[in-house]
Structures are given as C-alpha cells and as structure tokens.
Structure 1
C-alpha cells in the first residue's frame, strides 16, 4: 500500500471514530448506518489486535456473566497499542447507548452491539422484582405461566407499568418474563418466529436460536435464555 493510500485510510478511520463525518451522531447515536460503519472499524482493529498479539482485547468478566453480555471490547487496549485513535461516539465509553462486545470468541470473533437502553429497563424491573421478593418472604410477583419455568410479571404487584422494550431486530414491542429463580429476561420468541418464517429457515435440533439473531444483525439478544425450535415454534429453555 502506498504512503498516500495509507494516509487517506488513517484520515478516514479517524473521522469515523471521532464522529466528524456524522455531525448529528452525538444526537442520533442509534443511527443504523453509522453503527454499521463504526462496527466495521472496530472489527478491523480487533482482528489486527488478535493477529499481532494472539489475544482478544476483552474486559474482565466472570463465569456467571450471561453469554451475550460477557466479552466486552476493551477500547483502552486498542487505543494503547494504536489500533484506534478514538472510541466510537455511540459506545458507552463515549457516553453512547451501546456496549461493543465480541461473540464467537473461540472460532471467528465478531464485534456486535448491546443495546444499553433495553439493558437498563430490564435492570430496573429486576430491582423491583428483587425488592418485592425481599419484602414478601421470597414470593415472586408472578402472573400467568409464560413457558415451562417462566412466568409473566404481575406489574400491579410491583405498582408500576410494563416498560416499553423495542426490539432491535423487528421494531416490535417485546415483553419481559421472569424465570422461577427470579431472573428477569426479554422474550425474544416473536422476533425469532418472524426471522425463521420470513427467512424460511430450518433450525437444527439442539440449536440455540439466539445465534440466528446475533449473526444476521449487528445486535446481540441481551438479557435472555436459550431458545430452541420445538413443535414448529421457538421455545425458551431454562438452561
């Protein structure tokens, strides 16, 4: 690559990461086009980092951290080694509404986005559920059964309205449900059904359907349990 071409690439990457090409990005951080371009740049930085170090630039996590919330990108490592100059404006580290994280870390690492707006809404309901359980001798604010080991949440018992969880995949409103352990999660069954029927997909037996959502879009299915194809529909499983 010529020095001129290399110089132009550096300028373009710098502009992308600083948000200079998108003067409205700070006010419209959820711009899909900008998100995809940022993802491309971060993916390139991660790939180069791994190629040169044999490692992935990851923040610390624990074994208990859910799969699609676990491997957050460590931008400090990327900056320290000069792989990027600026953190994307839509990243949490820059005051944005997404976490950048890596999936398929052991096979073909891919950089994806975690929606922090939905993440926070689920956390707020989780806190309300935990508080209710603490005040009522361990009893959960459960409503009707949603699936095996899962229940819909009785928001009247929590004295609050259901949050509006807008799907990053279809734009439809998704419901929250509660595992019998008390863990609050998002019900992705409507998204999965739409993805499978429109794409005429034929899920394999034992396949965690959430991987379909993550592989076909820039976003991960946060706050969730695995889903499997049973009786011609996606069904949530407690493990």
Structure 2
C-alpha cells in the first residue's frame, strides 16, 4: 500500500512539473510569434508592403516566386518570404499560406508601383473543385454542363449534372462578402463572376468602368484583395459586362 501511495505521489509531482514546463514555454514564446495571428489583415498587408519597399530599394528586384509566362495576372507575382524574413520583416504574417493561413500574398502593378495584395485560396479551391467536375463531365459526354446563357461565350453551370449541391454553386467574395456565382466559358474554363463586386466598387468610389483598360484593376486598387479566378470585363454603356472570351 505504501509503495502504491509513493508511486501516486511521484506521478502527481511529474504531472505538475510537466504542466509548469508547458506554462513557462508558453510565457516565453516570442511576442512577435504570438502577434502574427492577431494582426488585422490590413496591418499584415502594410507590414509586408514596408518590407517589399525596403527590399526593392536595396536590391532593385522583387522577391517573387517564378511562375509560367501564361499564369493569370493576379496569380503571377506571389511573394517569396524567404527573401524578406528575417532581414526585412521579423516573421511571415499569420494570414499567409506559409503559416497555415488562407491567403497568398501577391504583388500587383509590379512595373511601376509594386503593391501587396491578398489572393484568397478558398476561392481557388472552390473553383478548382468545380473545374475538375466540369472537365470530367466534358470528357465523358463531349459537351459542357450548360444550364443557361449569360452572354455569348459565358454560361451558368448545371451543377446537378456534375454532382455539386447548392452550397458549392457560389463563393463568398472576400471583397464584398456577397455570394458570387461560379460560371464557365465556352471553352469550359470555370471562374467567378465578379460583376456585382465590380459595380459595387465603381459606385462606392465614384469611378467609371470605361476609365480602365482592365476593369478588374479597380478591385486591387480599392481593396486589399485581387479578383482571383476571374474573367475579363468590358464597359458597355457604362455598365460592367463580361468581355468576349479569349
């Protein structure tokens, strides 16, 4: 009995010791590492922007990952944090994919004014899922799962034909918070229809769509996001409209 009692005491002491070590380790965790998951996204973007500006000033180049030449413009210039941490910034921000976050930090306007923006990977994942179903359907049926025509070259998708329920037929916009439709082109390319977001940004900033060569540019110019998985848009009679598919 005495031996059992001593064993319980030793286990209790060991347990308390381990808890103490864990507590102390948590208290000693570097403050900046705790902060990286607490900073608002806007501040994370500002922190990376400051590092990019300093890096660019010092090296005359940009810390970006190499991508194929035909990579869509808003996915093309992904920031390579290995060139920035720790010399130009203390840590990779918590919202970044590299830290388990849902965003890629990317650059826009790289030729004249390199600007840090966020690419929402949740949008990419959802569109990729629909794309794989559309591609598989086409391979089996030699036709696209068309439900209706939006305008020449663009269609709404018959989601029931590709086995996708209502919950995955739209995507929440990181820009407006609205549910945006997922559509496809005449070549079977799947993307997000940002018409509603574009019109909202134009209205809120008193802008004219006709003033932009690529209407999508108004989103990164007036928010911290890029319109990933988007199509081209035109201005027709002052209204935003999907451009003829190229």
- Normalised by the shorter chain, which TM-score bucket? 0.7 to 0.9
Superposed, 1:115-126 pairs within 5 Å as 115-126=120-131
Contact in 2 for aligned 1:91/1:97 (Cα 8 Å): yes
Contact in 1 for aligned 2:208/2:238 (Cα 8 Å): no
Matched, 1:216 2:222: yes
What root-mean-square deviation, in Å, do the aligned CA atoms of Structure 1 and Structure 2 show? 1.8
Which residue number corresponds to residue 236 of structure 2? Answer: 230
- Bigger radius of gyration: 2
Superposed, 1:40-189 pairs within 5 Å as 40-79=46-85, 82-137=87-142, 139-162=143-166, 163=168, 164-189=170-195
Measure how far apart 1:207 and its partner are: 2.4
Distance in 2 (CA, whole Å) between partners of 1:185 and 1:169 is 16
What is the TM-score with the length of structure 1 in the denominator? 0.84
Gaps of 5+ in 1: 1-13, 26-32
Matched, 1:37 2:43: yes
> Could you list the per-position Cα deviations for residues 108-157 of structure 1 after superposition, in whole angstroms to 9, with x for gaps in the alignment?
000000011111001100111111111113x1111211122111111011
Distance in 2 (CA, whole Å) between partners of 1:116 and 1:87 is 17
Question: Which structure is higher in helix share?
Answer: 2
Which residue number corresponds to residue 204 of structure 2? Answer: 198
Number of residue equivalences: 214
What is the TM-score with the length of structure 2 in the denominator? 0.82
